[in-house]
Structure formats: structure tokens, C-alpha cells
Amino acid sequence: MKEDSRSINIRAIQHYMYCPRRFALLEVNDDWAENSYVVKANLLHENVHDGEHEYAFRDKIVKNSVVLFNDEYDIFGIADSIEFVRDPCGVLIPKLEGKFRVRIVEYKPKPPKDCDYHESDAIQVFAQKICVDSIWDCNCEAFLYYGEKRRRVLLPFSDPEVIDKYSSLLKSYLEAMRIVLKEGDIPTRRKSQRCAGCSLSDLCFPKSLRYNVRQKICEIAGGEH
Ligand code: SF4
């Protein structure tokens, strides 16, 4: 782990990609607000994470809500679902008998209209793959499951060029996120930013105002002494 490194939750990468200001409001200011998009995504994930966390089938074992981490990238998170598919050419998995191919399945509500998957969904799953491959010493497959279409999309992570592309994208996002976390500033709204689906729109003050909940609390607490 690098000296100035800071652990990043994989799910925050999507927040940063959507809007760096949103990421900072959530991670620096500890702001939070829900809207219909957030509730819909939460309901989909509740279906996965509630109830039994392990299922055994004839050809595979499925574990839900699996904790992941990777020290080199200093990232962590929870995968919706990891499938261990029986395969004599697969890898050994501690506490399981036999050899397995490993698959990530991440649940998302809505696919894009004009292509198979959202880039931000793919980067999130790529970050999970970094963790899974290092934990189980494998080269896992990765799928997105879009609830609205009820179908799985295989991500093209067997292609070395795609791997290179996502690896450098992931590193550049993590680096930019760590700068925001280290400096503690809330970035201004991007000119091209689309805000229609953002649950934080009511909290997102005009860019000329530096809004900081912690600062406000400190000011109030200071005034009481
Ligand atoms: S309202 Fe717009 S600028 Fe503000 S956090 Fe949300 S997406 Fe970003």
C-alpha cells in the first residue's frame, strides 16, 4: 500500500464517474439523499443480499454479498454474487471440494439504450475482477445482470486490449478520487454535467458557494462553547 494511499470503496467509483461533485458531497461531506433511482437500485440489491447467502447446485456454488479487497489498488467492496462453477481445469477454492471457474455477477436496474452495458457499470465490475483474481488466483469471468431486461451481459475481459483500457481508466479514476479525498474540497459542477437523475440535486448548491456540512457543524459547535 502506498504511503499517501486511501482505501476506496468500489461503489464510489461510479459516483465519481457520474459526477466528481456528487462523489465529494457523499465522501467528503457525508451528504446523502435518495430519489426513485436510488430506491429502485436498492430494492434490486436487497433481493440479492437478503436471505440465504449461499446456494449449492449440481454444477455450481453461488455466494451472495461477498466481501472483496485488493491491497495493490487499495480498493474494497461487496460483490452481489460470485459463482463457483465446477470445472476440472479451474482453480482450487479454500473450503470447497474440487476445482472451479469463478464468475462475478453484478446486478443493475437498467441497461443503456444504445449498447450492451454502461461503461461505469463495467469499470465497477472490472475493479471487482481485480479483487477476485488476486483473492482466488484465477482469471474470472464477469457478467452484468440488468433487472429491467432480465438478462446477463458477459463483459469482454478476456480481451487483453480491453483489460489494458480498463486498467488504465481505473487507475486514473482512483488517483483523481484520492486527490479529492486528500484535499477535502468539493469540486464545482462540470459544465456538461447532467443532473436530472441525481438524488443530491437539492443539496447541490451553486458552484459559487462552498457548501460543507462538517464546517457548518464545527461552526455551530464552536458557537455553543
Ligand atoms: S446535482 Fe448535478 S452537479 Fe450536483 S452532485 Fe448531482 S450530478 Fe453533480
The beta-carbon contacts of 48-51 under 8 Å, at least 24 apart in sequence, are 48/80, 48/81, 48/107, 49/78, 49/80
Whether the pLDDT of residue 106 is over 50: the answer is: yes
DSSP letter assigned to residue 13: H
Give residue 27 CA to ligand 1 midpoint distance, Å: 14
16-71 pLDDT per residue, tens: 999 999 999 999 988 877 666 767 666 766 666 665 678 888 899 999 999 999 99
C-alpha cell at 159: 480481451
Pair type for strands 99-108 and 8-9: unpaired
Spell out which residues line ligand 1, taking CB within 6 angstroms.
19, 21-22, 25, 189, 193, 195, 198, 200-201, 204
d(C-alpha 116, C-alpha 103), whole Å:
18
CB of 104 closer than 8 Å to CB of 132 = yes
Pocket test for ligand 1, best of 204, 205, 207, 210 (most atoms within 8 A of CB): 204
Under the banding of pLDDT at 50, 70 and 90, the label for residue 225 is very low
162-186 pLDDT per residue, tens: 999 999 999 999 999 999 999 998 9
Domains, the chain = 8-224 (3.90.320)
DSSP letter assigned to residue 31: -
C-alpha cell at 7: 482505501
132-165 pLDDT per residue, tens: 999 999 999 999 999 888 889 999 999 999 999 9
Q: Quick one: which atom of ligand 1 is closest to the CA of 198?
A: 6
207-218 pLDDT per residue, tens: 455 566 777 777
**Secondary structure E strands in the chain:** 8-9, 54-56, 60-70, 75-92, 99-108, 141-146, 151-154
Pair type for strands 99-108 and 54-56: unpaired
d(C-alpha 148, C-alpha 146), whole Å:
6
Q: Whose CA is nearest to atom 3 of ligand 1?
A: 189
